[in-house]
Amino acid sequence: MLDSIANIKEFMAGVESYEDFAGKKVLCHAVIYNLQCIGESVYMLSEDFRNENPDVDWDAIEGLRHVLVHDYYQVNMETVWGILQEDLMPLKEFLEKTSG
């Protein structure tokens, strides 16, 4: 998960607005792929770990992966932008804290 977050951070360097993000098709696809990887990693977590760490909405992360993989025609890029702006760094901080 941390590798995928690092990839997204690198890809998003210099992107300051939703319009800038959404206007770059290759960037959007690269970000979506890494969000899929994060979701797949969450899917592989044990129920015990998920239950011991209820502050992270594991079901939402896994659910996002299902949408990105299976319902890709319904992906709302504004939602993806919101995830990048609000949810990705708290997840990164949690992962660093628990893996360190």
Condensed to tens digits (0 to 9), the pLDDT of residues 32-82 reads 999 999 999 999 999 999 999 999 999 999 999 999 999 877 889 999 999
Question: What is the C-alpha radius of gyration for the chain, rounded to an integer number of angstroms?
Answer: 13
Measured distance CA(1)–CA(65) in Å, rounded? 13
Residue 100 has pLDDT above 70, yes or no: no
- Residue-level pLDDT at 99: 83
Residue 64, amino acid: L
- Domain assignment of residue 33, given as a range: 2-99
- Residue-level pLDDT at 17: 97
Neighbours of 88 (CB within 10 A): 19
Residue 93 has pLDDT above 70, yes or no: yes
Residue 87 has pLDDT above 80, yes or no: yes
Domain count, the chain: 1
